[in-house]
Structure 1
Amino acid sequence: MSNNYFRFKQFTVEHTRCAMKVGTDGVLLGAWARGGDTILDIGTGSGLIALFMAQRYPSGKIVAIDVDAGAVLQARINVYNSAFSDRITIIEKPLQEFCAGQFGSIVCNPPFFVNSLKNRDGQKAMARHADTLTHAELVSGASRLLADDGEFSVVIPAALRTAIDAEAAMAGLFPSRICAIRTIPRKPVSRYLLAYRKHPADRIEQTEECINNDDMSRSEWYSSLTENFYIR
């Protein structure tokens, strides 16, 4: 990996213009979330998750939105240089003002810090903090734009699980899939992959996985999840 880009099997993600670089959270969500014919990526940043979804769902049309002009430019460059440029549209617009029909899949690696010390870098603060898109606004916006049979997927720190579940319930969304993630088996759960739908599930799919083994080698689960993306 270079400081300026990350090369995957079918595309390259440059991230010099983005506050948030390519990271494990985005890779996890992009490889785990369910897609469909219409996919919305909220807060796309470099376009990483949009590109993952385009590779995984060859018939999917993806719209990716962000409020940061630098991120939008970076995402447009990454999409233009990919094999998926005819299926991904990048739009500079906040979720609160975005109205473009209903989506079968909505994905988001959201800003997650609330009431914490902000980074002096304004762009990085915007990407990391929930001031410009609160959790309530994110979940209610996703509910508004989600098709009746669609699925909304997020990746969040474990500490936010209760808050996001509460916001989802307020917005009329019900959990459908829950994946608890540990970095290694002996560590506590550090993040969750969560999926919600507009109707209660007959059975909520619940799993717990590790990214690495105790010796820090990649786990079989993570290797299988990302095998179509990482260059070995």
Structure 2
Amino acid sequence: MSKNSFQFKQFTINQEHCAMKVGTDGTLLGAWAQAPQGQSRILDIGTGTGLMALMMAQRYPDAIVHGIDIDPDAASQAEENVTNSPFAKKIMINRGDATKINDSIGYDAIVCNPPYFVDSLTCPQEQRTLARHTVTLNYTSLIQTAKRLLKDNGILSVIIPSENSDDIETTAALEGLFITRICLIKTTPNKLPKRQLVEIRKVPANHIDFHEEVLEIAPGQRSDWYQQLTKDFYIK
């Protein structure tokens, strides 16, 4: 498999026209995020290659999944990947700005691997800047968009750098939303968590479901948690 494509168990991701390639973050979120079973509506904001849209479609067979990306090359690539997958009839990809979506029905779940450089120098390449920096989708606009588009019992799931956790938690609180699940991700047992999986809802939970997990217990050896989480997707 070349660097321009990535083979999963049920679909292939071509990525030569996408700034952000298949990585651990997107795969983690696609396998961790929750949605109601049944005929739910799921939105993937900043769909990129379409990876998370495809993962959610695989996990929730009765759902309809919408993916949107502001980058026309990424949206075209995602549409190609969806068309060549077994889930083509249940996923729709659009090119556009998620903050301007006009939807009166509402979504049961929204997933987003948002841009993660908040206060750093932007890249010289515009496509990579759109994908990596919060110049078009900062946490405030993401949370406000999710609040507007989610149904009352809807779920927003994101993955963020650990150093940005205060930003997104504060933003959610200011918008009247609630953190209901957090999973701290360590690459190895002896390292500090670099990423956080975060679930946000309109309705508070009785308690926050808080976990800390490790990706690899030794070089090249996935932890039992990571192996179990991704077993339906990774070939090896």
Task: Please give the TM-score of this superposition, normalised by the length of structure 1.
Answer: 0.98
CA distance in 2, matches of 1:156, 1:166: 14
Provide the identity percentage: 48
Name 1:161's counterpart in structure 2.
165
CA RMSD, 1 decimal: 0.9
Q: Offset of 1:115 from its aligned partner? A: 2.4
SS in 2 for 1:193: strand
Partner of 2:51 in structure 1? 48
The residue number in structure 1 matching 2:13 is 13
Mapped to 2, the partners of 1:54 and 1:40 lie a distance apart of 11
Cα contact 1:186–1:214 (8 A) shared by 2: no
- What per-residue deviation string (whole Å, max 9, x for no partner) do you get for residues 2-55 of structure 1? 211000000000111100000000000000000231100000000000000000
Q: Of residues 68, 73, 91 in structure 2, which corresponds to 1:70?
A: 73
**Residue 93 of structure 1, CA deviation:** 1.3
Partner Cα separation in structure 2 for residue 135 and residue 215 of structure 1: 33
For residues 164-211 of structure 1, what are the alpha-carbon distances to aligned partners after superposition, in whole Å with 9 as ceiling and x for unaligned? 001111121101111000000000010000001111101211111000
| Cα distance in 1 between the residues matched to 2:23 and 2:141 | 24
Does the 8 Å CA contact 1:184/1:216 hold for their aligned counterparts?
Answer: no
Offset, 1:216? 4.0
1:136 and 1:26 map into 2 onto residues whose CA distance is 21
What residue identity is the alignment partner of 1:49?
M
Q: From 201, 205, 208, give the equivalent of 2:209.
A: 205
Match in the other structure for 2:83: 80
Per-residue Cα deviation, 1:128-159 (whole angstroms, up to 9, x for no partner): 00011111001110111111111100000000
Which amino acid counterpart does residue 54 of structure 1 have in structure 2? A
Gap regions ≥5 residues in structure 2: none
Unaligned runs of 5+ in 1: none
Counterparts of 2:91 and 2:46, CA distance in 1? 14
TM normalised by structure 2 equals 0.96
> How far is 1:214 from its partner?
3.5
Q: In the comparison of the two structures, how many residue pairs are matched?
A: 232
The aligned runs of 1:160-179 (5 Å cut-off) are: 160-179=164-183
